[in-house]
């Protein structure tokens, strides 16, 4: 059985090459992405059984996506083919002072049409872990229902449930979806959540204006989250801070019901591609938990994985455990408790 089942939409990613703007470019780099697929690829590269549960169009693009996932060791037996189109996302990569821009073209995708047809009991029986993200819920009412059904079934069957909040305002706004209610329903089923104080405040309808600096906000949000969601055991996030144009760093944070950990800040520059950094981090924490690392090790490993992802083009973190450990040991990473 797969260690981890990842449920979500696989997208074609069309990125402007080098530092060009999207419409300046006569060519686009074609690859694949999607937050949950990124986690699946990273976990497979770390040596875990990772099964992608998704719906793709029964055409050349859908089959190419499956081939690409297989290439990195993801189990694609849970991918179904159905009518509808392939979801796309266009990317203008960030450069110097310019931040990256994502443009979605995914309405009416095969995934959005058919994801609600998944038989969750069948798909999840025998698996140990389900990973989802808030993106699936943000796509539309049918996928939102599928995402909620998925986490509820997983909890009933005794799987560990992890969820990345991945709040995507443009997707929620397109159908006026009730993000706090739907994300809250999903979060109430999760053991492990990836999200920061903004995500928690949004879902719980709390305001953090005037509540002081970020460290205090993270503690405040974690306390609220543990109170609101009794199944929650761990809350993790990263913070990427830009000091100057060429100086960004990344810090990891992990909260449990009775502890808090943070890494030293790790330099990121030069940033080659920041998309998928959060997914690499999520896969790193999951890897740490699956292999019995303590919290400090989980967090250090996950931040090192995210740092490596920033050095790699494309959505996928293709680093192996040895690659991540090499980055980890190249810096002295003190985790403060």
Interface with ligand KDG, residue 75, by CB under 6 A = no
First and final CA of the chain: distance in angstroms? Answer: 36
Identify the helix (H) or strand (E) that includes residue 57: strand 50-57
Q: Of these, 5, 6, 11, 66, which contacts ligand KDG (CB under 6 A)?
A: 11
Residues 84-103 close enough to bind ligand KDG by CB under 6 A: 89
Tell me which of 3, 191, 273, 279 is the catalytic residue.
279
Rounded distance, CA 195 to CA 277, Å?
13
Identify whether 279 is a catalytic site residue: yes
- Report the alpha-carbon angle 303-268-273, nearest 5: 95
Interface with ligand KDG, residue 314, by CB under 6 A = no
The DSSP result for 132-168, as a single string, is: EEHHHHHH-HHHHHHHHHHHHHHHHTT-EEEEE----
CA–centroid distance for 306 within its chain? 11
Radius of gyration of the chain (CA): 19
Interface with ligand KDG, residue 55, by CB under 6 A = no
Nearer to ligand KDG, 182 or 333 (CB): 182
Rounded distance, CA 321 to CA 45, Å?
8
Q: Of these, 34, 62, 78, 84, which contacts ligand KDG (CB under 6 A)?
A: 34
Interface with ligand KDG, residue 255, by CB under 6 A = no
Region binding ligand KDG by CB under 6 A among candidate stretches 107-115, 146-154, 270-278, 328-336:
270-278
Interface with ligand KDG, residue 69, by CB under 6 A = no
- The residues annotated as belonging to the active site are 279
Task: Note the residues at the interface with ligand KDG (CB under 6 A).
Answer: 11, 33-35, 38, 89, 135, 168, 275-276, 278-279, 315
């Amino acid at each position: 059985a797969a260690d981890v089942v990842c449920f979500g939409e696989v997208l074609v990613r069309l990125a402007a090459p080098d530092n060009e703007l999207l419409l300046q470019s006569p060519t686009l780099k074609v690859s694949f992405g999607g937050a949950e697929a990124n986690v699946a690829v990273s976990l497979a590269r770390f040596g875990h059984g990772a099964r992608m549960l998704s719906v793709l169009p029964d055409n050349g693009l859908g089959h190419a996506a499956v081939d690409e996932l297989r290439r990195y060791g993801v189990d694609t037996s849970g991918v179904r083919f159905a009518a509808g189109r392939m979801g796309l996302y266009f990317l203008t990569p960030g450069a110097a002072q310019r931040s990256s821009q994502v443009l979605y073209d995914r309405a009416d995708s095969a995934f959005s049409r058919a994801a609600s047809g998944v038989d969750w009991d069948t798909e999840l029986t025998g698996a140990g872990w389900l990973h989802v993200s808030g993106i699936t819920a943000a796509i539309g009412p049918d996928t939102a229902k599928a995402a909620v059904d998925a986490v509820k079934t997983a909890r009933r069957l005794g799987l560990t449930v992890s969820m990345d909040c991945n709040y995507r305002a443009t997707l929620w706004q397109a159908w006026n979806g009730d993000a706090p209610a739907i994300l809250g329903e999903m979060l109430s089923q999760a053991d492990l959540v990836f999200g920061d104080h903004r995500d928690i405040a949004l879902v719980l309808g709390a305001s953090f204006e005037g509540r002081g600096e970020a460290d205090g906000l993270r503690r405040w949000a974690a306390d609220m989250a543990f109170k609101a969601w009794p199944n929650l055991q761990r809350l993790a996030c990263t913070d990427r801070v830009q000091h100057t144009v060429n100086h960004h760093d990344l810090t990891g944070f992990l909260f449990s019901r009775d502890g808090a950990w943070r890494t030293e800040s790790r330099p990121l520059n030069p940033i080659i591609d920041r998309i998928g950094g959060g997914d690499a981090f999520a896969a790193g924490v999951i890897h740490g938990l699956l292999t019995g690392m303590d919290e400090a090790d989980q967090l250090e490993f996950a931040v090192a994985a995210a740092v490596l992802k920033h050095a790699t083009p494309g959505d996928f973190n293709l680093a192996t455990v040895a690659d991540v450990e090499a980055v980890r040991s190249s810096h002295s990473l003190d985790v403060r408790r």
